[in-house]
Copies of this chain bind each other. A is one copy, B any other.
Amino acid sequence: MATINRNYKKLPGSYLFSTIAKKVAEYSAANPEADIIRLGIGDVTEPVAPAVIKALHLAVDEMGQKESFKGYAPDLGYEFLRDVIARKDYEARGCGISADEIFVSDGAKSDCGNIQEIFSLDNKIAVCDPVYPVYVDSNVMAGRTGEYDDELRRFKGVIYMPCTKENDFAPELPAEVPDLIYLCFPNNPTGAAMKKERLQEWVDYANKNGSIILYDAAYEAFISEEGVPHSIYECEGARGCAIEFKSFSKTAGFTGLRLGYTVIPKELEAGGEKLWPLWARRHGTKYNGAPYIIQRAGEAVYSDEGRAQVKAQIAYYMENAGIILEGLGSAGFDVSGGINAPYIWLKTKDSMTSWEFFDYLLAKARIVGTPGSGFGPHGEGYFRLTAFGSRENTIRAVERLKKLS
């Protein structure tokens, strides 16, 4: 008789953003007139840049002609895309990453969720707390954790690394050495960044202990300060201990187009075994590549025209971030983030729990945000707002929030 993977039963409730979507849908159904402003899920609102649209049209036309039609993509992605990534995201920053160390995919979420498959089930993971839920949930599903502890609101067998105001929302090196360390900087959800010296300490720690750092750099394009690394490979020795994930979703508004990539240095090993061939095998066996037209769209992001356009979009969102930071700060909210990342992390009002504040904001201000506790126990009492709304909605949201305080 077939039976299920019981690890799935350890997961409490549904995926965070599915829960939020359901709550908002229920509220909208009950209040059809309500003018809701969505600053919850980290989805972009600006249209895809003209240079990318142009590349998409051209590639669509190629698909419609026999001579230029493209079927299955190469396993690792098209060379035209991997080459430009290697040059512009790495070589230009002094990081030695070659095109054949880049695996093109349909986004960082899939890659972050799937990467754990190539590691042993008895590897112990460490995550920031609060944290993007995919890292933990994908390991729970695989059976790399224990049961969920309702009281502590944590999974047993996972090393949670608190990110609090006291440590500038960047974790301390853990006393118990993890095998796999998930780091995401600039951080989702807190919006905090990590300086290069600090990240170097993590690289040294991983190299010393034989740990692998799984580095999610999905928000690197939002970095505005000097000294904050755009890639972990800016740190010395990172090729020996780190896998890096990047996404076109936020950098270039590709949330609806789906494109990302993962970097695995050829010599990177875990327990004396190379990781590159394992990920290549997974790619070849369980995945069939990102669509040709989407890979051409990704290439266009690196053209002079495309680069200028996506930079302008990021500037627009970061102005939104500034408006939220400034407005909420002046209204007495305790806020952080929003300088090197499109997320603003704020303390809830009157010591409300994160979900109480979610319901309160939805009811009183028709604003949707993300409860900090959804990202982990140290997110309790916090709330995430995104800078991805329109300018108009961002300003209106800040005005509504000011009235509450």
In the complex, what's the smallest C-beta–C-beta distance from A49 to chain B, in angstroms?
8
Interface flags for A47-59 (1: CB within 8 Å of B; 0: not) read: 1101001001100
Q: Pick the contact of A3 from B61, B75, B270, B284 — CB < 8 Å?
A: B270
Among residues 170 to 189 in chain A, which have CB atoms less than 8 Å away from a CB atom of chain B? 179-180
Among residues 105 to 129 in chain A, which have CB atoms less than 8 Å away from a CB atom of chain B? 106-107, 109-110, 113-114, 117-123
Q: Is A11 located at the chain interface by the 8 A CB criterion? A: yes
Determine whether the beta carbon of B14 is less than 8 Å from that of A211. Answer: no
In the complex, what's the smallest C-beta–C-beta distance from A221 to chain B, in angstroms?
17
Determine whether the beta carbon of B120 is less than 8 Å from that of A4. Answer: yes
Determine whether the beta carbon of B71 is less than 8 Å from that of A45. Answer: yes
Chain A to chain B contacts (Cβ below 8 Å), 12 pairs: A4-B118, A4-B270, A4-B271, A5-B278, A47-B64, A57-B60, A63-B256, A106-B106, A141-B282, A257-B292, A257-B293, A258-B291
Provide the residues of chain B in CB contact with A113, threshold 8 Å.
285-287
10 A-B pairs with least C-beta separation:
A113-B286, A1-B210, A3-B271, A43-B71, A53-B64, A2-B270, A15-B284, A71-B255, A2-B179, A2-B212
Q: Is A133 located at the chain interface by the 8 A CB criterion? A: yes
A109-B286 in contact given A256-B70, A256-B291 (Cβ < 8 Å): yes
Provide the residues of chain B in CB contact with A273, threshold 8 Å.
3-4, 9
Q: Is A69 located at the chain interface by the 8 A CB criterion? A: yes
A18-B209 in contact given A2-B179, A5-B120, A56-B293 (Cβ < 8 Å): no
Interface centre among A4, A8, A56, A273 (most CB of B within 10 A): A4
- Which residue in chain B gives the minimum CB-CB distance to A390? B66
Q: Is A325 located at the chain interface by the 8 A CB criterion? A: no
Determine whether the beta carbon of A287 is less than 8 Å from that of B64. Answer: no
Q: Is A324 located at the chain interface by the 8 A CB criterion? A: no
Determine whether the beta carbon of B61 is less than 8 Å from that of A53. Answer: yes
Determine whether the beta carbon of A5 is less than 8 Å from that of B117. Answer: yes
Determine whether the beta carbon of B63 is less than 8 Å from that of A47. Answer: yes
A107-B288 in contact given A43-B72, A64-B47 (Cβ < 8 Å): yes
Among residues 316 to 330 in chain A, which have CB atoms less than 8 Å away from a CB atom of chain B? none
Interface flags for A263-302 (1: CB within 8 Å of B; 0: not) read: 0000000110101001001101111111111100000000
Provide the residues of chain B in CB contact with A211, threshold 8 Å.
1-2
In the complex, what's the smallest C-beta–C-beta distance from A204 to chain B, in angstroms?
16
- Which residue in chain B gives the minimum CB-CB distance to A210? B1
Determine whether the beta carbon of A46 is less than 8 Å from that of B60. Answer: no
Provide the residues of chain B in CB contact with A294, threshold 8 Å.
291
Determine whether the beta carbon of A1 is less than 8 Å from that of B271. Answer: yes
Q: Is A65 located at the chain interface by the 8 A CB criterion? A: yes
Determine whether the beta carbon of B69 is less than 8 Å from that of A109. Answer: no
Among residues 140 to 185 in chain A, which have CB atoms less than 8 Å away from a CB atom of chain B? 141, 143, 179-180
Q: Is A363 located at the chain interface by the 8 A CB criterion? A: no
Among residues 67 to 124 in chain A, which have CB atoms less than 8 Å away from a CB atom of chain B? 69-73, 75, 106-107, 109-110, 113-114, 117-123
Once the chains are docked, how many angstroms separate the CA of A137 from the CA of B117? 13
Provide the residues of chain B in CB contact with A122, threshold 8 Å.
3
In the complex, what's the smallest C-beta–C-beta distance from A118 to chain B, in angstroms?
5
